[in-house]
């Protein structure tokens, strides 16, 4: 908090007296650190009130050249800044111009990180006002490259690093974090960063980036966000042999040692920040991701974006597409290519929605959903060798070992790619879907772009439309440019998790929710699908434009919060009457505030 100059002066003189009595006395000793030799111990005094030089170096309060004449007088800034006073809009214009001049996305990433460390409000203003342009820099795909090179581009630590060295002391470590009122924690153990594999401690770029989006897209205050990386070692040989690697140089621990550390972490977070703190798991490897979610969902407010966020965003796209076809979800049959975190998470949520819609059992709904993994169609005869999370999808059917045969036999109306295998939706696959369906829904979700099932480039994408003769409703995990076919321009909408998670998190925060319930995910999907307008459908889009993400987030937050109260999981009382207004008004604004 800022305080008046008089208070600052008062504090300084107190400090002089203190330091004087404990060391040699006198004004000189207050600044004694510079003159002390290496043998002398000195006290690392800092002023807790931001003013003058300190104010300029405090990213939360710094405004750079936007400090007014009056503020410069009151806050001892005269001479510390050049004479010109500019407003925040001009600062933004200049920075965007600079950023656009960089040739490589990683340079832009570094410039934005540096801005975040220098002037937080300006960073968020840039991000909010230029969200479509900067999202791929702050998050995927550039954040992936940043994580790969984290060791060498690392300058100032961001977030909290909790390694095996902190075992038994995690509560104390949490207390070292400067903010006390945390609402959202995003945590990774770095084992499966995007599609890039084990990046160990360098995975920190992910929680940092994700939480920047929590603020920019969902309006959660930056001071309420805590990025965490749990370092249990890495199996990445390249990192282990890299002299600049910033993490523990040992193989990953597993089993009890791993789960004990995670348990200590989850217990400490709840103890320190309370029942209502949201803990979002991010980029954990398959086995741990499912296990952690299942283990802690009954005792903690936990959410896994890779599983639940993906499911909710994809279900939203399906609901919108189904509406545009004039059908209902129960009319459709789903075939997944890929049965991992994303695939089974989506399948589970579709089944839940369907069973609620049809008033049918989950077993009934499961029958409409089929999955193919690397060994072929998931069928009963494979039951013994299937991983636990795949078992519910094993149907009574003869084994089929490829996607094409599965399409021909099962005749799905919706084809969902979640295998990470690029170009697996070949021409014959798309044509088979188009021969069965008037309007096949094709979701090529695998990332990054070269892994996309239909295409690595625009040209292939246009083929996808060509193969279906413009009849396919198409969405992808990676962004693609618009495609022209038969005089129509199709805009392939991106099924981006960023549509959901920040609004979802805001909904949990404003309702004071203490647990995540699957019905809240359905509520988020419905809110997002409800934002798709007729004009979007005409362009072939099944998601709304990302440029209005804050409006979208407010509606998602409101639906999620209402559901939390309905389920008896919302604890913040009284329950707001107009939930959308409540969500909007609780969103962080990056505009500078005048300082007294
Ligand atoms: P995962 O590793 O958990 O699952 C991959 C699955 O694909 C496994 O079931 C595996 O058996 C299967 N598979 C591998 N090779 C195969 C093959 N040749 N044929 C058939 N199946 C095969 O990964 P995940 O987290 O589920 O992610 C999968 C993909 O989805 C990734 O590319 C990821 O980027 C993407 N994804 C997209 C979104 C989105 O669009 N919003 C969200 C999350 C994940």
DSSP, residue by residue, 92-128 = HHHHHHHHHH-SSHHHHHHHHHHHHHH-HHHHHHHHH
CA distance 146 to 141: 9
**Is the backbone peptide bond immediately before 574 cis, with ω within 30 degrees of 0?**
yes
Q: How far is the CA of 498 from the centre of ligand 1 (A)?
A: 18
CA distance 411 to 446: 22
In 10 A of CB 411, how many CB atoms?
Answer: 14
Mutational test site, ligand 1, from 340, 375, 389, 425, max ligand atoms within 8 Å of CB: 340
- Ligand 1: nearest atom to the Cα of 478: 40
Residue with tokens 């084809």: 415
- Ligand 1: nearest atom to the Cα of 310: 42
Is residue 390 in contact with ligand 1, taking CB distance under 6 Å? no
Which stretch of DSSP H or E encloses residue 417? Answer: strand 414-417
Burial label for 250, CB within 10 Å (0-12, 13-18, 19+), is: middle
CA distance 350 to 369: 9
**How crowded is the C-beta side of 426, counted as CA atoms within 13 Å?**
6
- Ligand 1: nearest atom to the Cα of 306: 43
For every residue of 171-189, DSSP letters joined together read HHHHHHSS-----EEEEE-
Is residue 344 in contact with ligand 1, taking CB distance under 6 Å? no
Q: How far is the CA of 419 from the centre of ligand 1 (A)?
A: 3
Mutational test site, ligand 1, from 305, 344, 373, 418, max ligand atoms within 8 Å of CB: 418
Q: How far is the CA of 294 from the centre of ligand 1 (A)?
A: 20
360's tokens: 């049918």
Residue pair 471/518 in contact (Cβ under 8 Å)? The answer is: no
Buried b (16+ CB within 10 A) or exposed e, 273-304: beebbbbbbbbbebebbbebbebbbeebbbbb
Is 6 labeled as catalytic in the residue annotation?
Answer: no
Q: Is the pLDDT at 510 greater than 90, yes or no?
A: yes
Is residue 313 in contact with ligand 1, taking CB distance under 6 Å? yes
Task: Quickly state the pLDDT bin for 175 (edges 50, 70, 90).
Answer: very high
Q: How far is the CA of 339 from the centre of ligand 1 (A)?
A: 7
Helix axes 131-138, 105-118, angle to 10 degrees: 100
Q: Which of 210, 368, 390, 563 is catalytic?
A: 210
Q: How far is the CA of 379 from the centre of ligand 1 (A)?
A: 19
Which stretch of DSSP H or E encloses residue 583? Answer: helix 579-585
pLDDT in tens, 381-437: 999 999 999 999 999 999 999 999 999 999 999 999 999 998 899 888 988 998 999
Q: How far is the CA of 421 from the centre of ligand 1 (A)?
A: 8
What lies within 8 Å, CB to CB, of 327 at 6+ separation is none
Mutational test site, ligand 1, from 419, 442, 449, max ligand atoms within 8 Å of CB: 419
CA distance 435 to 163: 54
Q: Is the pLDDT at 353 greater than 80, yes or no?
A: yes
What lies within 8 Å, CB to CB, of 225 at 6+ separation is 182, 183, 184, 185, 186, 211, 214, 215
Is residue 269 in contact with ligand 1, taking CB distance under 6 Å? no
Q: How far, in Å, are 245, 400, 449 from residue 490 at the CA level? A: 45, 34, 18
Task: Quickly state the pLDDT bin for 25 (edges 50, 70, 90).
Answer: very low
Tell me 156's DSSP state: S
- Ligand 1: nearest atom to the Cα of 344: 26
CA distance 309 to 463: 30
Where do the structural domains in the chain lie, given as residue ranges?
2-90, 91-300, 308-498
Q: How far is the CA of 308 from the centre of ligand 1 (A)?
A: 14
394 closest CA partner among 421, 355, 359, 363: 363
Residue pair 213/539 in contact (Cβ under 8 Å)? The answer is: no
Domains 2-90 and 91-300 share a fold: no
CA distance 233 to 162: 11
**Is the backbone peptide bond immediately before 284 cis, with ω within 30 degrees of 0?**
no
Give 416 or 194, the one with higher predicted confidence: 416
Percent helix, strand, coil in the chain (nearest 5)?
55, 10, 40
Is residue 419 in contact with ligand 1, taking CB distance under 6 Å? yes
Q: How far is the CA of 212 from the centre of ligand 1 (A)?
A: 25
Closest residue to atom 17 of ligand 1, CA basis = 374
CA distance 531 to 549: 10
Mean pLDDT, the chain, integer = 89
CA distance 53 to 203: 33
Measured torsion, CA atoms of residues 164, 259, 348, 516, in degrees rounded to the nearest 10: -80
Q: Which of 109, 139, 273, 353 is catalytic?
A: 139
pLDDT in tens, 467-482: 666 678 889 998 887 7
Q: Give me the pLDDT at residue 426, please.
A: 87
> ∠225-229-235 over CA atoms, to 5°?
160
Fold topology of 2-90: Hemocyanin, N-terminal domain (1.20.1370)
- Quick one: average pLDDT of 65-94? 97
The verdict on domain 91-300 having CATH code 3.30.930.10 is no
Q: How far is the CA of 151 from the centre of ligand 1 (A)?
A: 28
Backbone angles phi, psi at 586, to 5 degrees: -90, 5
- Ligand 1: nearest atom to the Cα of 419: 7
Q: Is the pLDDT at 135 greater than 80, yes or no?
A: yes
Task: Quickly state the pLDDT bin for 284 (edges 50, 70, 90).
Answer: very high
Is 210 labeled as catalytic in the residue annotation?
Answer: yes
Q: How far, in Å, are 415, 419, 424, 425 from residue 336 at the CA level? A: 6, 9, 12, 11
Cα-atom radius of gyration of the chain, to the nearest Å?
26
pTM here?
Answer: 0.90
Is residue 341 in contact with ligand 1, taking CB distance under 6 Å? yes
pLDDT above 90 covers what percent of the chain? 77
319 closest CA partner among 483, 132, 473: 473
Q: Is the pLDDT at 31 greater than 90, yes or no?
A: no
Q: How far is the CA of 256 from the centre of ligand 1 (A)?
A: 27
- Ligand 1: nearest atom to the Cα of 446: 32
pLDDT in tens, 203-217: 999 999 999 999 999
The gap from C-alpha 515 to its chain's centroid, in whole angstroms, comes to 19
Mutational test site, ligand 1, from 286, 342, 349, max ligand atoms within 8 Å of CB: 342
- Ligand 1: nearest atom to the Cα of 477: 40
243's tokens: 């002299």
- Ligand 1: nearest atom to the Cα of 390: 9
Mutational test site, ligand 1, from 139, 195, 420, max ligand atoms within 8 Å of CB: 420
Q: SS3 of 243, please? A: coil
Q: How far is the CA of 29 from the centre of ligand 1 (A)?
A: 61
Q: Give me the pLDDT at residue 223, please.
A: 95
Residue length of the chain? 596
Is residue 477 in contact with ligand 1, taking CB distance under 6 Å? yes
Closest residue to atom 4 of ligand 1, CA basis = 340
Fold topology of 308-498: Rossmann fold (3.40.50)
Q: What's the distance, Cα to Cα, between the start and end of the chain in Å? A: 11
- Ligand 1: nearest atom to the Cα of 194: 34
Is residue 420 in contact with ligand 1, taking CB distance under 6 Å? yes
pLDDT above 70 covers what percent of the chain? 89
Burial label for 240, CB within 10 Å (0-12, 13-18, 19+), is: middle
Backbone angles phi, psi at 335, to 5 degrees: -125, 125
Give 540 or 551, the one with higher predicted confidence: 551
Task: Quickly state the pLDDT bin for 30 (edges 50, 70, 90).
Answer: very low
Q: How far is the CA of 343 from the centre of ligand 1 (A)?
A: 7
Is residue 195 in contact with ligand 1, taking CB distance under 6 Å? yes
Is residue 286 in contact with ligand 1, taking CB distance under 6 Å? yes
Return the HEC string of 463-502. HHHHHCCCCCEEEECCCCCCEEECCEEECCEECCHHHCHH
> ∠294-173-288 over CA atoms, to 5°?
20
> ∠156-160-165 over CA atoms, to 5°?
110
CA distance 279 to 110: 27
Is residue 447 in contact with ligand 1, taking CB distance under 6 Å? yes
Q: SS3 of 34, please? A: helix
Q: Give me the pLDDT at residue 478, please.
A: 83
């Amino acid at each position: 908090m800022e305080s008046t100059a008089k208070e600052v002066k008062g504090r300084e003189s107190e400090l002089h007296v203190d330091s004087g009595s404990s060391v040699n006395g006198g004004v000189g000793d207050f600044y004694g650190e510079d003159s002390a030799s290496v043998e002398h111990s000195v006290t690392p005094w800092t002023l807790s009130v931001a003013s003058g030089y300190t104010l300029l170096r405090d990213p939360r309060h710094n405004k750079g050249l936007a400090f007014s004449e009056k503020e410069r007088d009151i806050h001892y800034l005269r001479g510390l800044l050049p004479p010109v006073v500019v407003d925040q809009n001009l600062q933004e214009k200049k920075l965007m111009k600079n950023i656009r001049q960089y040739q490589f996305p990683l340079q832009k990433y570094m410039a934005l990180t540096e801005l975040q460390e220098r002037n937080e409000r300006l960073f968020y203003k840039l991000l909010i006002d230029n969200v479509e342009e900067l999202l791929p820099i702050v998050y995927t795909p550039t954040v992936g490259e940043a994580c790969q090179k984290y060791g060498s581009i690392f300058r100032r630590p961001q977030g909290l690093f909790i390694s095996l060295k902190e075992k038994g002391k995690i509560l104390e470590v949490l207390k070292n974090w400067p903010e006390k009122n945390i609402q959202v924690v995003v945590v990774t153990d770095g084992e499966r960063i995007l599609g890039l594999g084990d990046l160990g401690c360098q995975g920190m770029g992910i929680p940092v980036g994700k939480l920047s989006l929590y603020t920019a897209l969902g309006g959660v205050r930056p001071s309420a966000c805590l990025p965490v990386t749990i370092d249990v070692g890495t199996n990445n040989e390249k990192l282990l042999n890299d002299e600049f690697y910033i993490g523990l140089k040992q193989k990953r621990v597993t089993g009890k040692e791993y789960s004990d550390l995670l348990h200590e972490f989850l217990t400490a977070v709840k103890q320190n920040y309370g029942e209502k703190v949201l803990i979002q798991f991010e980029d954990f490897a398959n086995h741990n991701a499912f296990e952690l979610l299942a283990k802690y969902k009954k005792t903690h407010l936990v959410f896994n974006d890779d599983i639940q966020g993906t499911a909710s965003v994809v279900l939203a796209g399906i609901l919108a597409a189904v509406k545009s076809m004039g059908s209902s979800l129960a009319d459709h049959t789903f075939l997944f290519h890929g049965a991992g975190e994303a695939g089974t998470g989506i399948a589970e949520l579709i089944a839940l929605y369907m069973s609620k819609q049809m008033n049918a059992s989950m077993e009934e709904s499961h029958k409409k959903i089929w999955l193919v993994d690397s060994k072929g169609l998931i069928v009963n005869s494979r039951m013994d060798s299937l991983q636990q999370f795949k078992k519910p999808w094993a149907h009574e059917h003869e084994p089929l070992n490829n996607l094409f045969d599965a399409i021909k036999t099962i005749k799905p109306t919706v084809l969902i790619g979640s295998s990470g295998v690029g170009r697996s939706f070949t021409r014959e696959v798309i044509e088979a879907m188009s021969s069965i369906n008037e309007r096949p829904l094709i979701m090529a979700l695998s990332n990054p772009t070269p892994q996309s099932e239909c295409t690595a480039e625009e040209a292939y994408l246009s083929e996808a439309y060509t193969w279906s003769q413009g009849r396919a409703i198409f969405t992808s995990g990676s962004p693609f440019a618009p495609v022209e076919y038969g005089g129509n321009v199709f805009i392939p909408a991106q099924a981006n998790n960023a549509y959901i998670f920040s609004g979802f998190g805001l909904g949990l925060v404003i309702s004071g929710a203490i647990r995540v319930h699957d019905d809240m995910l359905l509520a988020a999907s419905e809110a997002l699908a409800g934002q798709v307008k007729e004009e979007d459908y005409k362009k072939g889009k099944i998601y709304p434009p990302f440029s209005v993400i804050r409006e979208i987030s407010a509606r998602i937050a409101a639906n999620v919060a209402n559901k939390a109260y309905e389920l008896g999981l919302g604890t913040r009382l009284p329950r707001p009457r107009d939930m959308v207004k409540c969500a909007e008004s609780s969103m962080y604004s990056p505009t500078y505030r005048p300082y007294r």
